[in-house]
Homo-oligomer: A and B are copies of this chain.
Amino acid sequence: MEENSVIAAKLATAWRFLYDKGFIEGFGHISARTADPDRMLISPHSLGRVVAPEDFALDMNGQQYGTHFHLPGEWPIHSEIYKTRPDVNSVAHFHCLYPTSFGVSERELRPTYFLASIFRSGVPIHPDPRLVNTQERGISLARTLGPHRAAVMKAHGVVIVGRDVEEMVAATYILEDNAHRTWVSASMGEVEYLSDEVMAECEAEMLKNRGPFRRIWSMCECHVQEVTK
């Protein structure tokens, strides 16, 4: 596993990209697991465009380390997922428009875009819209998420996970993009979802060379370089 300073720098890069793309708007937070299994790096309860790498730090039980910033009350989203998902090393929570809107719609949020084949196992809907500000609610959400890459929190938002910060950013981008595209199609009538067979093939190609993940992360880094130069 990478050094904390490396992970924190990636989180700060991810923050700026996701902020400028509108994901953070007032309520988003992101995190990553550290080499120390008892700790995570989590974004402060900040609403500004810039978060410094040294502003990320919290243990799994809510103890704050090395930073005096106010932390998001919903940190149990992150800690409880890390506890039950050893394959997950980065977690994000947003209220993003399109995937969340599917949570209260009669239409299903399923892949209509080949990159979204990574969500082919499904995006479960968590039935409780309340803030996840207790351990109990975090456990409940982690249970809804199960082995999947994302869950919609009904009438609230989404949670998205990845094996590293790069994958969390790519999955976030793809989830929103797929929901946006599916909405455009669905607002005109019936939608043709990807078949299981096609989704499996698309996903296998993506996970084999991880090209689209790297490409989205490159786009993120490139954006941050351009806006900070």
Contact = CB atoms under 8 A, between A and B. Distances in A.
Contacts of A35: none
B219 A25 contact: yes
Contacts of A181: 97, 100-101, 104
A113 B101 CA distance: 9
A147 interface: no
A198 interface: yes
B191 A156 contact: no
Interface string A14-50: 0000000000011100000000000000000101110
Contacts of A114: 129-131, 155-156
A8 to B, nearest CB: 21
A130 B201 contact: yes
Chain copies in the assembled complex: 4
B113 A198 contact: no
Interface string A196-223: 0010011001000001100110110010
Contacts of A226: 48-49
A107, A129, A222, A226 — which one has the most chain B CB atoms within 10 A of its CB?
Answer: A129
Contacts of A222: 47-48
Interface in A118-148: 129-131
Nearest to A221: B47
B130 A215 contact: no
B198 A104 contact: no
A101 B178 CA distance: 10
23 contacts: A26-B215, A27-B212, A27-B215, A45-B215, A97-B180, A100-B181, A104-B112, A104-B182, A104-B185, A104-B192, A104-B193, A105-B185, A105-B189, A105-B192, A106-B188, A106-B190, A106-B192, A113-B155, A114-B129, A129-B194, A130-B201, A183-B184, A186-B189
Interface of A: 25-27, 45, 47-49, 73, 97-98, 100-102, 104-107, 111-114, 129-131, 154-156, 173, 180-194, 198, 201-202, 205, 211-212, 215-216, 218-219, 222, 225-226
